[in-house]
C-alpha cells in the first residue's frame, strides 16, 4: 500500500489555502479495475470567490505536465480571483502526480485523457453554461486537447504553454528526453532519485534559479521513490516512436485538433530545450487561428520565468467578456485614420510595366576590386526577365503563395531580383541581417519559421550547422559535392527562363515581408508588412522626396535597396560591408553615384561619418559626380548639424534630409538641414519647446504623430496630446506602418494599445512650431532622484566637451532614487595614453559635469569613459545603453567589468 499524501496548502508560498480541495471520483480508465474510486487533489478558487461575494464569468481548466503539479498555476489562480470580472480556475493534480492518489498503475495517454474526463464530470464542469477554456503545459497540452476533442460542446477556447501535440518518429526527440528514456538512466533519474525533477526545476531562468521555498514546494509530492512512480511512468509513455503505445492516440489528437475552431492562445518560452520551437511551429500549423507570443528570455517553465497571468486574463477578456479583440479594435481605428487608397499599385508593377525598357535599372559595383568600377548591371528589360526566371524556378521547386522565404544574400542585384521574384509569387520575404549575430539570427529565424531559405554558401553553411529552418536553396552556383554537403535542393543560377509565366497579383492585404528590427532594445522583433503597406512605404518616400522614374538612387542603406525598382528609379549598391555601414568610403560612394548619374543618395549616419573622414581621397571626377546629387537622406540614428555641415561640403548641391523612423514605420518624419539649423537657432533663443533632443521635423507624406506624456514612474500615459513642450512616447499612424509583430501577441498588444496608432518606444516632444524632437528611447528613460530624465539632452551637453566623441546617459541605483551617469566615448587613446575603460580622469569628469549642469540643470553623479561604445551593428550608431548601464553599475561598485558586444558578418 502506497503511503497517502496529505496536502498542507498553508505551507505553499503563493497559494491561498482556500483553493486546495480533494475529491473521490469513480475511475473509468482502461487501466483501472471496474468500480475503482480515486482521490484527486486540485486547486479551485470558486469557494474563495463565493466567500468574497463574487461570481465567476467563466472557468479555466489547468492541466500540468511532468513532473510539476497544480502549484504551477498559482499565479493564474491568484490573478483570476481579482478584479470585477473574476474567472474560476480549476488546476488539477493528475493521478499519480502532485497530491492526487498514487494508484501504482502505469497510466497511458489515453488513460489520462479519460481521467480528466472523469474529473470534469464529477466536478460538474461538463454542464457549465459559462465559457470554459483549457490551459495546459508540457504533456498536459496533449492531454487537455484530447479531453477537448471529447468535449467540443462545452469547449470555448484553448491556451497552451510549452508543449507538443505531435512528434515525428523520423526525428530524434530532444536530448533532455533521450537521457530520461535511456534504459541505463530511466528508472534512476525519474524514480530512484529526484534528478529528473531537479533538472526540470533548474531550467528556470531567474538569476539564481527558483526561490528555495518555491523549489521545495514543487518537490513536496515527490520526496520518496514510490511517490515518484508517476514521474517515471509519464516519461516512459512518451510517444517517441511509432511502436510506442501512445503514438496512435497522440496522432488522433494531433490530427483532431485541426477541426477545433475555437479561439486559441500560445505562450512559449523559446529557450526550452525540451519543447523546442519546432513543436511550437507544429502546433501553430494545427491551430492557425492561434494568437502566439514568444517569450525570448523564458525556458520550459514559462509560468515561472514570465508573467503569463496578465496576458491570459487580457486575452480571456477580449474573447469572452468584451467580445472585441485588441487586434480588431486596432484594425478598425487604423482604417479610419488611414482609409484604404483606391490607387494601390503593387510593388512589382513598375518592373513589369517596364519589361521592354532598355535603359539602366540596377547596378552592382565591383567589390572585389577597388570599388570604383561596375561589376554588373541590368536594364529594366533584363531585370524583369531575371525576376520572372527566378520566380518560375522557385515555383517549380515548390515555393507557394504565402510561403515564407528567408533571404540570406548580400545586397545588390541578386537580392533585388530575389525579393521581386518573391513579391511576384506572393511568397513572404523574411529578412534578418547578420548584424543580429549568430545567436540573434538563430532566434529570429526559428521564430519566423520560414519554409524556404535562399542563401550564399557561407549562409547555407551556418543554416546547416545551426539548424535554421527552411528547405535550402543556393543563391549561387555550387559544385555537386558542395550542394550535397549543404543540403540544398537547387540553385537559383540553374533556373531556366520560361517561355511564359503569368501570375495574378497577390491580394493587397496578404503578408508580403517580415523585416527584423535591429535588436538594439531587446531581442529582434519580426515586423510584418502586407503588400499594401509596402506599397504605401514606396508612396511615402516618393511623395515626401519627389522620387520618381528617371531618378538615380544610391542605396547605401540596405532597407531601401528594395524600393528603387518599385519607384522606377535606377539604383546602385555601393561597395561596402552592409553589416558595417561605416565601411562606406567617399570614393566608393562617389563611384556608385557616377555609375548612374545619381540624383539621390540614401546612407546611414555611420556611413556618413566615414565618408567625411575619407573625403580627402576623392579625385576630381568623383567630386563632380557627388556635386550632381540633389538629395541625401540619412536614417537610422540622429546626426549632428556639425556633421551635416561637413557633408554639405562634399555634396554642395544636395538638399540634406535626416528622416526619422523605425523598422515598424519607415519613415515617420522628415527634416532638412535648413530646418535643423532653424530649430537649433530657436533653441538658442529660448523658443518654447525647442531643444532638449534631436529635431526630426514633421510627419512624412501620409503620416501622423502624437505624444503620450511620461508619468512619474517613467512609463507613458494612455492619454495622448499634440500640445508643445510635453515629453512622452511618440505614437505614429500612417498607411505604411506595420501590420503586426510576428508571433509576439503581447508585444503587439502594447504597441497598439492606442488603437490605430503604433507606440514607437521613442520619447520626444513637439516645439511651438510643431516640429518633433526625439529625446531617446522609452526603455532608456532615467527615473532618478532628480525626476524623470530623458537621455539625449544630457548626452548632447556632454558631447560639447572637447575629447568626448559620443556620450551615453544611464542611471545607476534603485528606480526613483538612481543617479545619472555619463559614459563618454573618447577613442582608442586619450590624452596621449591608451584608453582604459573605467572612471574618467578628474578633469574630464569636472568638465562633463559642468557642461551637463549648465545645459540641462541636471547634476551628474559620475563620469566613466570607454574607447568605443557598444552599438547595434546594423547602424553602427545606436548605442547599446543597457549594456553600458550594467557595466557602469559594476564599475561604480568597484568590480572589474568588460564592455562590448560580439557580432558576426559574412
Angle formed by the axes of helices 605-613 and 586-596, to 10°? 100
β-bridge partners, 820: 811
**For residue 876, what pLDDT band results from cuts at 50, 70 and 90?**
very low
Per DSSP, the residues of 186-232 read HHIIIIISSHHHHHHHTT--STTSS-HHHHHHHHGGGSSTGGGHHHH
pTM: 0.92
According to CATH, the topology of domain 370-555 is Rossmann fold (3.40.50)
Does residue 246 have a pLDDT over 50?
Answer: yes
Kind and range of the H or E run holding 760: strand 758-766
State the chain's mean pLDDT as an integer.
Answer: 92
User: With pLDDT > 70 as the criterion, what percentage of the chain qualifies?
Assistant: 97
Contact 85, 321 (CB under 8 A): yes
Q: What is the mean pLDDT of residues 418-423?
A: 97
Does residue 500 have a pLDDT over 90?
Answer: no
Tens digit of pLDDT for each residue in 220-238? 999 999 999 999 999 999 9
Spatial CA neighbour of 471 closest among 386, 390, 394, 528? 394
Q: What is the mean pLDDT of residues 246-261?
A: 97
- Looking at residue 859, its pLDDT comes to 95
Comparing 124-138, 714-728, 864-878, the range with the smallest average pLDDT is: 864-878
Could you state, in order of their start, the residue ranges of all structural domains in the chain? 17-321, 370-555, 687-780, 782-906
**For residue 901, what pLDDT band results from cuts at 50, 70 and 90?**
very low
- Looking at residue 905, its pLDDT comes to 27
Same fold, 370-555 and 782-906: no
Tens digit of pLDDT for each residue in 66-118? 999 999 999 999 999 998 899 999 999 999 999 999 999 999 999 999 999 99
Q: What is the mean pLDDT of residues 866-882?
A: 70
Comparing 390-404, 457-471, 884-898, the range with the smallest average pLDDT is: 884-898
Class of domain 687-780: mainly beta
Does residue 18 have a pLDDT over 90?
Answer: yes
For 84-193, where are the E strands, in sequence order?
88-92, 132-136, 157-161
Tens digit of pLDDT for each residue in 279-330? 999 999 999 999 999 999 999 999 999 999 999 999 999 999 998 899 999 9
Residues 6+ positions from 728 with CB-CB distance below 8 Å: 707, 708, 709, 710, 716, 717, 721, 763, 764, 765
Looking at domain 17-321, its CATH superfamily turns out to be Alpha/Beta hydrolase fold, catalytic domain (3.40.50.1820)
Nine cell digits for residue 758? 503604433
- Of 698 and 436, the structure prediction assigns the larger pLDDT to 698
Q: Rg of the chain's alpha carbons, rounded to an integer?
A: 30
Could you give the strand order of the β-sheet that contains 570-573, starting from the edge strand earlier in sequence?
374-379, 360-365, 570-573, 552-555, 600-603, 631-634, 655-657
CATH number 3.30.200.20 is the correct assignment for the domain at 782-906: no
Spatial CA neighbour of 737 closest among 567, 558, 530? 530
- Of 271 and 562, the structure prediction assigns the larger pLDDT to 271
Does residue 583 have a pLDDT over 80?
Answer: yes
Amino acid at each position: 500500500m502506497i503511503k497517502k499524501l496529505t496536502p498542507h496548502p498553508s505551507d505553499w508560498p503563493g497559494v491561498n489555502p482556500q483553493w486546495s480541495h480533494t475529491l473521490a471520483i469513480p475511475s473509468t480508465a482502461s487501466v483501472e479495475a471496474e468500480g475503482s474510486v480515486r482521490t484527486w487533489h486540485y486547486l479551485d478558487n470558486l469557494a474563495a470567490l463565493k466567500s468574497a461575494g463574487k461570481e465567476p464569468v467563466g472557468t479555466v481548466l489547468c492541466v500540468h505536465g511532468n513532473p510539476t503539479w497544480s502549484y504551477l498555476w498559482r499565479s493564474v489562480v491568484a490573478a483570476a480571483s481579482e478584479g470585477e470580472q473574476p474567472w474560476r480556475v480549476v488546476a488539477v493534480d493528475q493521478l499519480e502526480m502532485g497530491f492526487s492518489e498514487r494508484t501504482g498503475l502505469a497510466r497511458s495517454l489515453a488513460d489520462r485523457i479519460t481521467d480528466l474526463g472523469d474529473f470534469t464530470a464529477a466536478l460538474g464542469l461538463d454542464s457549465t453554461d459559462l465559457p470554459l477554456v483549457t490551459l495546459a503545459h508540457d504533456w498536459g497540452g496533449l492531454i487537455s486537447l484530447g479531453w477537448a476533442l471529447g468535449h467540443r460542446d462545452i469547449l470555448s477556447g484553448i491556451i497552451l504553454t510549452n508543449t507538443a501535440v505531435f512528434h515525428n518518429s523520423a526525428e530524434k526527440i530532444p536530448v533532455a528526453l533521450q537521457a530520461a528514456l535511456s534504459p541505463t538512466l530511466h528508472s534512476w533519474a525519474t524514480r530512484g532519485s529526484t534528478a529528473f525533477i531537479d533538472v526540470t526545476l533548474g531550467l528556470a531562468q531567474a538569476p539564481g534559479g527558483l526561490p528555495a521555498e518555491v523549489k521545495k514546494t514543487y518537490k513536496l509530492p515527490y520526496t520518496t521513490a514510490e511517490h515518484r512512480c508517476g514521474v517515471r511512468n509519464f516519461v516512459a509513455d512518451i510517444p517517441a516512436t511509432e511502436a510506442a503505445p501512445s503514438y496512435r492516440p497522440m496522432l488522433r489528437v494531433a490530427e483532431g485538433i485541426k477541426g477545433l475552431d475555437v479561439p486559441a492562445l500560445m505562450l512559449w518560452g523559446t529557450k526550452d530545450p525540451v519543447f523546442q520551437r519546432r513543436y511550437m511551429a507544429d502546433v501553430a500549423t494545427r491551430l492557425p487561428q492561434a494568437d502566439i507570443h514568444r517569450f525570448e528570455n523564458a525556458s520550459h517553465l514559462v509560468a515561472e520565468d514570465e508573467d503569463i497571468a496578465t496576458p491570459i486574463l487580457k486575452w480571456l477578456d477580449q474573447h469572452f467578456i468584451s467580445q472585441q479583440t485588441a487586434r480588431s479594435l486596432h484594425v478598425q481605428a487604423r482604417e479610419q485614420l488611414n482609409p484604404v487608397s483606391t490607387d494601390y499599385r503593387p510593388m512589382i508593377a513598375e518592373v513589369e510595366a517596364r519589361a521592354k525598357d532598355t535603359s539602366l535599372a540596377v547596378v552592382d559595383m565591383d567589390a572585389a576590386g577597388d570599388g570604383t568600377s561596375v561589376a554588373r548591371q541590368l536594364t529594366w528589360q533584363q531585370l524583369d526577365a531575371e525576376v520572372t526566371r527566378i520566380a518560375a524556378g522557385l515555383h517549380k521547386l515548390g515555393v507557394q503563395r504565402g510561403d515564407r522565404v528567408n533571404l540570406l544574400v548580400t545586397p545588390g542585384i541578386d537580392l533585388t531580383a530575389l525579393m521581386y521574384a518573391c513579391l511576384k509569387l506572393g511568397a513572404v520575404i523574411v529578412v534578418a541581417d547578420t548584424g543580429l549575430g549568430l545567436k540573434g539570427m538563430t532566434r529570429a529565424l526559428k521564430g519566423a519559421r520560414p519554409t524556404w531559405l535562399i542563401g550564399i554558401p557561407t549562409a547555407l553553411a551556418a543554416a546547416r550547422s545551426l539548424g535554421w529552418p527552411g528547405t535550402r536553396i543556393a543563391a549561387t552556383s555550387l559544385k555537386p559535392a558542395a550542394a550535397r554537403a549543404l543540403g540544398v535542393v537547387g540553385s537559383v543560377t540553374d533556373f531556366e527562363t520560361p517561355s511564359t509565366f503569368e501570375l495574378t497579383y497577390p491580394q493587397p492585404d496578404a503578408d508580403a515581408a517580415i523585416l527584423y528590427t535591429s535588436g538594439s532594445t531587446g531581442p529582434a522583433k519580426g515586423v510584418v508588412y502586407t503588400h499594401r503597406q509596402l506599397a504605401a512605404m514606396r508612396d511615402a518616400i516618393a511623395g515626401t522626396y519627389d522620387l520618381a522614374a528617371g531618378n538615380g538612387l544610391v542605396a547605401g542603406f540596405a532597407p531601401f535597396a528594395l524600393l528603387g525598382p518599385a519607384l522606377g528609379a535606377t539604383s546602385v549598391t555601393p561597395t561596402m560591408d552592409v553589416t558595417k555601414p561605416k565601411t562606406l568610403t567617399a570614393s566608393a560612394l562617389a563611384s556608385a553615384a557616377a555609375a548612374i548619374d545619381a540624383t539621390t543618395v540614401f546612407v546611414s549616419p555611420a556611413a556618413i561619418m566615414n565618408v567625411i573622414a575619407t573625403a580627402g581621397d576623392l579625385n576630381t571626377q568623383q567630386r563632380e559626380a557627388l556635386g550632381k546629387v540633389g538629395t541625401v537622406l540619412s536614417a537610422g540614428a540622429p546626426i549632428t548639424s556639425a556633421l551635416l555641415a561637413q557633408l554639405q561640403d562634399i555634396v554642395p548641391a544636395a538638399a540634406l534630409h535626416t528622416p526619422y523612423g523605425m523598422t515598424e514605420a519607415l519613415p515617420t518624419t522628415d527634416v532638412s538641414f535648413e530646418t535643423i539649423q532653424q530649430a537649433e537657432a530657436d533653441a538658442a533663443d529660448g523658443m518654447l519647446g525647442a531643444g532638449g533632443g534631436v529635431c526630426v521635423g514633421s510627419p512624412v507624406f501620409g503620416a501622423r504623430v502624437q505624444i503620450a506624456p511620461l508619468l512619474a514612474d517613467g512609463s507613458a500615459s494612455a492619454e495622448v496630446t499634440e500640445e508643445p513642450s510635453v515629453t512622452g512616447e511618440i505614437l505614429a499612424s500612417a498607411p505604411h506602418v506595420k501590420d503586426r509583430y510576428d508571433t509576439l501577441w503581447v508585444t503587439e498588444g502594447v504597441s497598439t494599445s492606442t488603437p490605430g496608432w503604433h507606440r514607437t518606444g521613442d520619447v520626444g516632444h513637439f516645439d511651438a512650431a510643431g516640429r518633433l524632437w526625439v529625446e531617446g528611447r522609452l526603455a532608456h528613460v532615467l527615473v532618478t532622484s532628480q525626476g524623470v530624465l530623458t537621455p539625449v539632452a544630457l548626452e548632447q551637453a556632454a558631447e560639447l566637451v572637447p575629447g568626448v566623441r559620443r556620450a551615453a546617459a544611464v542611471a545607476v541605483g534603485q528606480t526613483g532614487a538612481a543617479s545619472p551617469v555619463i559614459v563618454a566615448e573618447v577613442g582608442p587613446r586619450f590624452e596621449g595614453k591608451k584608453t582604459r575603460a573605467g572612471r574618467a580622469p578628474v578633469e574630464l569628469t569636472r568638465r562633463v559635469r559642468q557642461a551637463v549642469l549648465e545645459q540641462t540643470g541636471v547634476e551628474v553623479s559620475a563620469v566613466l569613459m570607454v574607447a568605443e561604445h557598444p552599438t547595434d551593428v546594423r547602424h553602427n550608431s545606436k548605442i547599446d545603453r543597457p549594456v553600458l548601464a550594467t557595466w557602469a553599475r559594476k564599475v561604480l561598485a568597484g568590480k572589474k567589468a568588460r564592455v562590448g558586444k560580439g557580432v558576426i558578418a559574412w
